[in-house]
Amino acid sequence: GDSVTQMEGPVTLSEEAFLTINCTYTATGYPSLFWYVQYPGEGLQLLLKATKADDKGSNKGFEATYRKETTSFHLEKGSVQVSDSAVYFCALRGQAGTALIFGKGTTLSVSS
C-alpha cells in the first residue's frame, strides 16, 4: 500500500539556518503530495502542496519539489525563524483519492 517516510527528529537549528526535512513516498500511479504543519496545541494546517511531477509547492518561505524519479518531496527553507518551531508532516493522497497517508512527523525546534 501507499506509504510515506520522513526523517526522524527532532531537528534543532539556530535562527537563520537552512532547513531540509527529507520525505520519500511509495505509491502506485501519480499521487498528490502535501506538507502540513502543526504548531503546539493546535490542529494541522496545510503548508504547501504539489500535484504532479516537477511541480514546486511554496508558502511562507518553505519550498518542496515533487521528484517522481526519486519519489521524494523534501521540505526546505533558506532561513528559519523561531516562529517556525513546530511539527511538520509529509503526506500523500493516492490515486484512489480517498484519504491522506501521513509520515510520522518531524519536530523542528529553532532557537534564537
Partner 1 sequence: NAGVTQTPKFQVLKTGQSMTLQCAQDMNHEYMSWYRQDPGMGLRLIHYSVGAGITDQGEVPNGYNVSRSTTEDFPLRLLSAAPSQTSVYFCASSRDTLNYGYTFGSGTRLTVV
DSSP class of residue 84 equals G
Q: How many residues bind partner 1 (CB under 8 A)?
A: 23
Q: Which is nearer to partner 1, 17 or 65 (CB)?
A: 65
40: contact with partner 1 by CB under 8 A: no
100: contact with partner 1 by CB under 8 A: yes
99: contact with partner 1 by CB under 8 A: yes
SS3 track for 21-40: ECEEEECCCCCEEEEEEECC
28: contact with partner 1 by CB under 8 A: no
- Measured CA to CA in angstroms, residue 26 lies from 50, 59, 77, 79 at distances of 16, 25, 24, 30
**Choices 13-21, 59-67, 75-83, 102-110 (CB under 8 A): range interacting with partner 1:** 102-110
49: contact with partner 1 by CB under 8 A: yes
Q: Which of 27, 86, 101, 110 binds partner 1 (CB under 8 A)?
A: 101
DSSP class of residue 106 equals E
- Residue 39: other Cβ atoms inside 10 A: 13
CB of 98 to partner 1, least distance (A): 6
Q: Which of 13, 44, 67, 71 binds partner 1 (CB under 8 A)?
A: 44
Return d(Cα 112, Cα 110) in angstroms, integer. 7
